[in-house]
Amino acid sequence: MGVEVTPDGSKVYVANSNVGNVSDTVSVIDTKTNTVTVTVPVGTYPFRVAITPDGTRVCVTDIGNNTVSVINTTTNTVTATVNVGQWLYGVAVTPDGTKAYVANSYDNTVSVIHDHRECYSHCACRNES
């Protein structure tokens, strides 16, 4: 599912959905040793991963509970869980790292998370043709 490398290339974050004894977690891989250094518990069925440009936070979409888990990359712990729309298909972080946009495919909305703490809004998406 979701796999992202930190901007400095030192770590890889991998979403683990229904994978044996590491289900509903994110594995952190050290790229120098290619070993999993920690497994972070997150919400149900983590799917996509996005890392802030400064590499300090990871946003993980948790499809099973319609939330985004925010992981601090220094402590590798979840520092926030944000409620968003339904069936989170994608997540992207702005270049300045202050907002994350989450595509909610089931209810055709986009959630905007401000400073990775709270859901700012849900905007309806329409095909403008």
The per-residue pLDDT for range 7-48, each reduced to its tens digit, is 999 999 999 987 666 689 999 999 999 999 999 999 999 999
Contact 61, 44 (CB under 8 A): no
Q: Is the pLDDT of residue 129 over 90?
A: no
3-124 placed in CATH 2.130.10.10 = yes
Taking residues 57-82, report their average pLDDT: 93
What is the per-residue pLDDT for 117?
55
19-23, 29-33, 51-55, 63-67: least confidently modelled range: 19-23
Residue with tokens 């270049």: 95
| 128: confidence class by pLDDT, cuts 50, 70, 90 | very low
Contact 82, 91 (CB under 8 A): no
Q: Is the pLDDT of residue 127 over 70?
A: no
What is the per-residue pLDDT for 119?
47
Residue with tokens 């909305």: 109
Sign of dihedral through CA atoms 28, 38, 92, 85?
positive
Contact 13, 43 (CB under 8 A): no
Domain spans of the chain, in order of start: 3-124
Got the DSSP string for 30-68?
ETTTTEEEEEEE-SSSEEEEEE-TTSSEEEEEEGGGTEE
Contact 78, 70 (CB under 8 A): yes
